[in-house]
Structures are given as structure tokens and as C-alpha cells.
Amino acid sequence: MLTLYRITRRHPVYFLAFVFFIIIASVTICLDNKIDCFIKLNPLHEQWLDVFFIGVTWLGDGLFSLVAAVLVVLFWRDYRLTLHIVIAYLLSGLVAQVMKKLWAAPRPRAIIEPALYKNFLSGISGVGHNSFPSGHTTTAFALATILALHASNKAWGLFFLFLAVLVGYSRIYLGQHFLPDVTMGALLGTVTALFVYGFININLRKRTAGETSVVAGN
């Protein structure tokens, strides 16, 4: 717990902005039921916005995280960052899939009548009962948090967070998820990334300290 506190304290801007986002989302959820909230968050649909958010939502695809990990290895040779990205993606994705199975929550198109909302996109807005939490949002926030924790310039953290929030909204815009799904995905991805970052770094330090003591003893 203390380690997580130290990690977040070293990146106050990122985590304060994240907490602000969670508070705003939580208050919005409390003020409306999820269907009314979904409709209010989708006041405008244009063809160019459809194309834009279809592209944005791919940033939360697991393939994008794996591509990012490969690029980090090829161009920056940062193997620790690569390890953090891959493990955070796999762990957060696993937890998200388990939660989807346990909750079996319906997606917006499965329960919202066409008379109430007419902007579902054919071939994009899915049906089914695996809405909670949002997997794309989980992946996006896990990646954003890992990148923010590794960024030498902490201002980049806000850019990564902005992209993650944009991915979360894209899931609502495209009719795939409700706001509670996105909010839980953001929490899950961020907490998982913090755990992975802290756990791996602690164990690497212990291993390094052990090797140093052995060398000193010799």
C-alpha cells in the first residue's frame, strides 16, 4: 500500500486528473439511470465523428498495446517498459473477461428501444451480455498509466490520460457500453497497471540488491 502511495505521489498531476475524471463519471452515474445517461452522452452523431471514434476506439484494442510494446523494444530498447505494458494488458484483460462472465450485463443495443435511440451503427454497435466492464477502456487506461509512470516528462501523462478518456467515450458513442462499464474499465486498467508497475519494480530491486550483496560478499 505504501509503495502504491509513493508511486502516485511521484505523478500527482496524472493521478489527480484521473481521480477528477472518476468523480465526474461517478456523479453523472448517480444522477441518472444508465440508459438516460447513455442517451444524454450521445447528443450528436455525424459521419465524420463515426469514422473518428471508430479509429479512436482501436487505441483500446489489445493488438494496439502489443504493437506499442513491440515499438518500444525496436526503437527505445526499454525492456522493462515493454514488460510492464504486456503484463498489464494481459492481467487487466483477464480480470475484465472474468468480470464480464460474472456480471453478464447487456450492451446498450440489447435493451434500448429503437424509439428511444436511433444512432446505433450497423456492424459496429454490438449486442449481447458482456458489457460490464468495458474491455477496450480497461486496456486503454492500463496502457496510459504504464506510459505515464515511465514518461520522463510528466506532462505526457495528461496526454496519455486524455487519449484513454477519449477511448472510453468512443465505447459509449459507438453504442458498445454504458458509462458505468467505462468507469469500471478505467478503474480496473489503472489499478492493474499500478500493481504491475509496483510489483515488478520491487522484485527487480530486491533481485538487484541480492546480487549486489553476493558480489560484495565475494
Vertex 30 angle, CA 27 and 34, to 5°:
115
State the angle between helix axes of 135-150 and 79-103 in degrees (0 to 180), rounded to the nearest 10: 160
In tens, the pLDDT along 75-87 reads 999 999 999 999 9
In the chain, the domains with their CATH numbers are 2-205 (1.20.144)
The helix (H) or strand (E) run that includes residue 33 is none
Q: In this structure, what are the phi and psi dihedrals at residue 118, rounded to the nearest 5 degrees?
A: -115, 15
Structure confidence at residue 213 (pLDDT): 44
pLDDT over 50 (residue 215): no
C-alpha distances out from residue 146 to 57, 80, 94, 107, 131, Å: 19, 11, 17, 29, 25
pTM, 2 dp: 0.93
> Which amino acid type is present at position 23?
I
Structure confidence at residue 205 (pLDDT): 63
Question: HSE on the CB side for 36, CA within 13 Å?
Answer: 6
